[in-house]
Amino acid sequence: MTIQSLEKKTGEFFLRHWANTGLSIPEWQCWDDFLHAPVPSYNLGGCYALFQGSSLIYVGSGISRGSGRYRDQGISTRMMKHVYSTDRDKPGMYKLCDKWAAVTAIFTIGFPNECAYLAVALETYLIRELGPPRNRRL
């Protein structure tokens, strides 16, 4: 499973579930400055995809409204709890959690707040359709 298959299945999902929103269709964004800058769409609810090389290994979602200084930062709040953390040895940098040490790329897709609930549906759809090996089968 590649980024192309992820984008294709995401497009199929949006054809079924986005038409009545009147909003632009969200797109996957690569975390180009991987572990050096905030994750794309950090301030939105949405989904994230973890890759090892060119292979998709995990899909997750984060739609929490958060609290305190992380209010309304669903994707980054979720990922900071389960995927990466602040690197205390390198200010301004992040490091992957041991469980995800082999991850080489992360993509995110952010949803407007009024549609953030669809992130969970997209996550479920992608897991069922693509079967990333590190996700439990639904």
d(CA 41, CA 129): 24
Map out the domains of the chain as residue ranges: 3-130
Run means of pLDDT, 10 residues per run, the chain, 138 residues: 96 92 93 87 92 97 64 76 90 91 96 90 97 88
- Cα distances from 108 to residues 39, 48, 90, in angstroms, run 8, 4, 24
Taking the model in full, what pTM does it have? Answer: 0.90
Instruction: Give the model's pLDDT for residue 73.
Output: 57
